[in-house]
Structures are given as structure tokens and as C-alpha cells.
């Protein structure tokens, strides 16, 4: 079952496992260079969850894509930075765009005025996603800086986020109930 939902701080290791499954190229694009497994582990353990929202895409209970939305701090109270990662087998299926849509709504509902993204010039998929959200792309020193203007929150955007949260929780509950009620298959069998 496919589920989009927010992660909680206790799920930092799920995010770590997802990032570790990225291809070397995707990992390079996400962190703007080669990083070791230990660096990713440390990064996930130090996420400031009070100023970060992570929306994940789960398939069959495994996190396969994530969008991290992090407030930039006191100097830029109304700006957030976003990073989107999608594991190779799930790319080019609209998952990154859906995650971006969800973090735009989240940022909007929390008073952000702009979203900032930084990606390498060869990260064309991320640039394509940014263009879908009317992002301004500026090429600077081998990187692309993206700014996306975020409109004010509305009752509709607040309801949209609330419904997404309810849908995510319902999906988790449904998966756990259905998963527990499924009979075990003999070794070598496959579910269809």
C-alpha cells in the first residue's frame, strides 16, 4: 500500500535507511558531494525536529522517498529549505512532485513566505520539480539556487494539510490491521 505521511522524530532511522538506499548519484545530488554512511547516520540523528517537517512516501511500510522542510532560523523566519529524495526504482512516477506539493502546503500553513532549494546543475529532475511550482532558478558556481514564493495560508490549505494527515494515519492503521490479518504464506510463495 502507498502512503504519504509526516514522519515523527522517533522515525529518524527510517529516514537514515532511506538515504542509505539512494544510488551514489542520488546521494551525491542530495548532499552536494560524496558522503559516507556514517555522515548520513550522523545527519539523521542530529535533525532539529522542532524546526523540521519530513514528509515521506511509504510503499508496503518502507520509506521510499522523503521531502525535508527545514526552517532557516531566526535570521530568516519566513524562509524554509527543502530537499527531496526518491529511491531509484520510484523515480519518474510523480512522487517527488507530490512530496513537494505537500511541503509547499506545510510551509504555507506555518507562515513561510519562500522556499529555498539548492541543487547541482546536473540534477535536472529536481529542477523540473521546482519549475512546476514556479520556482526562480539561478545558476551560481556549478549549483542551482531555487526560490519558490509561498502564498498565505487559507482555510482551504489548512484543510488540505489536515486531510493529508488524516489520510496518512488511516493508511498506517489500515496497513497494520490488514498486515496482521493476512495469513502467512509457505516459503517460496508469492502474493498476487
Q: Is the pLDDT of residue 191 over 60?
A: no
- How many domains, the chain? 1
State how far the Cα of 187 lies from the Cα of 130, in Å rounded to an integer.
Answer: 45
Q: What is the pLDDT of residue 63?
A: 97
Asked if residue 189 belongs to a domain, the reply is no
Asked if residue 150 belongs to a domain, the reply is yes
Asked if residue 63 belongs to a domain, the reply is yes
H runs (alpha helix) in the chain: 12-20, 24-31, 37-45, 95-109, 124-132, 155-181
Asked if residue 32 belongs to a domain, the reply is yes
Asked if residue 76 belongs to a domain, the reply is yes
pLDDT digits (tens, 9 = 90+) for 8-37: 999 999 999 999 999 999 999 899 888 999
pLDDT digits (tens, 9 = 90+) for 61-75: 999 999 999 998 766
Q: Which residue has the cell 516459503?
A: 187
H runs (alpha helix) in 32-132: 37-45, 95-109, 124-132
What 3-state class would DSSP assign to 25?
A: helix
pLDDT digits (tens, 9 = 90+) for 32-87: 888 999 999 999 999 999 999 999 999 999 999 999 999 987 667 688 999 999 99
State how far the Cα of 86 lies from the Cα of 92, in Å rounded to an integer.
Answer: 9
CATH number at residue 93: 3.40.630.30
Give the residue numbers spanning the domain of 116: 2-172
Mean pLDDT computed over 114-129: 88
Asked if residue 83 belongs to a domain, the reply is yes
The CA-based angle 180-90-164, given to 5 degrees, is 60
Amino acid at each position: 500500500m502507498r502512503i504519504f505521511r509526516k514522519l515523527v522524530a522517533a522515525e529518524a532511522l527510517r529516514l537514515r535507511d532511506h538515504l542509505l538506499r539512494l544510488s551514489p548519484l542520488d546521494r551525491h545530488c542530495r548532499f552536494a558531494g560524496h558522503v559516507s554512511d556514517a555522515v548520513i547516520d550522523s545527519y539523521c540523528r542530529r535533525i532539529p525536529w522542532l524546526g523540521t517537517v519530513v514528509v515521506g512516501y511509504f510503499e508496503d511500510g518502507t520509506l521510499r522517498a522523503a521531502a525535508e522542510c527545514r526552517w532557516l532560523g531566526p535570521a530568516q523566519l519566513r524562509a524554509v529549505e527543502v530537499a527531496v529524495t526518491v529511491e531509484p526504482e520510484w523515480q519518474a512516477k510523480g512522487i517527488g512532485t507530490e512530496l513537494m506539493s505537500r511541503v509547499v502546503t506545510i510551509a504555507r500553513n506555518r507562515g513561510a513566505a519562500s522556499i529555498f532549494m539548492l541543487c547541482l546543475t546536473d540534477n535536472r529532475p529536481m529542477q523540473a520539480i521546482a519549475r512546476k511550482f514556479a520556482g526562480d532558478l539561478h545558476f551560481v558556481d556549478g549549483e542551482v539556487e531555487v526560490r519558490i514564493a509561498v502564498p498565505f495560508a487559507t482555510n482551504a490549505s489548512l484543510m488540505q494539510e489536515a486531510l493529508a494527515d488524516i489520510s496518512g494515519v488511516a493508511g498506517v492503521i489500515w496497513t497494520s490491521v490488514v498486515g496482521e490479518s493476512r495469513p502467512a504464506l509457505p516459503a517460496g510463495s508469492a502474493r498476487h
